[in-house]
Amino acid sequence: MGHVVAAARAPVLPCPQPAWESEARRIVDIQRRVQAITPAFLTDLTFDGQSYVLKELLPDQDRLTLDHWDGKLARLEMVMCDMGALLAWAHLRSSGRQGSANADAWMAYGADVASWRADLLDHAQAGQQQVLADWESYAAAYREAERQRSPASRG
């Protein structure tokens, strides 16, 4: 069971969003739409005014570990392409519901790639810079905490 908080971008999205009974209901309903097979016991719960999602835990759930990519970019590119195809499939599977874009709208959007590609790449590059800055900040704080915890620093 996992506690659910509101989607961070929801208040600033330019298009109206559906009204949901709770954040957990939003997650459960969308997960049921986009996945062909959902986890057992997938349901939303409210306890003490807080929203929760309950679902089966799968100890052997598919995980993506990058430990074995060995710096081979082709392997990583293949994984990213597969993930993109799965995401596209999920979008098409759930399209046209509650005012969301339908398959024709998605195809028109994709055909008009010239109008949004540069903005997307700019956004991705800005995101990359932010992730690198965040990592550097985290790593510096971690090193400092380790330095303070080491026996040598305690004198």
Higher pLDDT, 44 or 5: 44
Over the stretch 84-139, which tens digit does the pLDDT of each residue have?
999 999 999 999 999 889 999 999 999 999 999 999 999 999 999 999 999 999 99
d(CA 107, CA 92): 10
The angle at the Cα of 141, spanning 138 to 147, to the nearest 5 degrees, equals: 140
Determine if the pTM surpasses 0.95.
Answer: no
The CA distance from 4 to 30, in Å, is: 14
In the predicted model, is pLDDT for residue 78 greater than 70?
Answer: yes
CA distances from 30 to 4, 44, 73, 139 (A): 14, 12, 33, 36
Take residue 91 and report the two structure tokens written for it: 């979008």
Tell me which of 16 and 118 has the higher pLDDT. Answer: 118
Q: What percent of the chain has pLDDT over 90?
A: 61
Per-residue burial over 135-146, b if 16 or more Cβ lie within 10 Å, else e, is: eeeeeeeeeeee
Cα(22)–Cα(128) distance, rounded to whole angstroms?
Answer: 32
Is 155 a residue whose pLDDT tops 60?
no
Position 2 confidence tier, pLDDT thresholds 50, 70, 90: confident
Task: Give the pLDDT band of residue 153 (cuts 50, 70, 90).
Answer: low
Strand partners, 45: 52
At position 71, the amino acid (one-letter code) is G
* DSSP three-state, residue 3: strand
- 153: which residues sit within 8 A by CB, 6+ positions away? 147
Give the pLDDT confidence score for residue 88 in this predicted structure. Answer: 92
Q: What is the pLDDT of residue 128?
A: 97
| CA pair distance 54, 75, nearest whole angstrom | 34
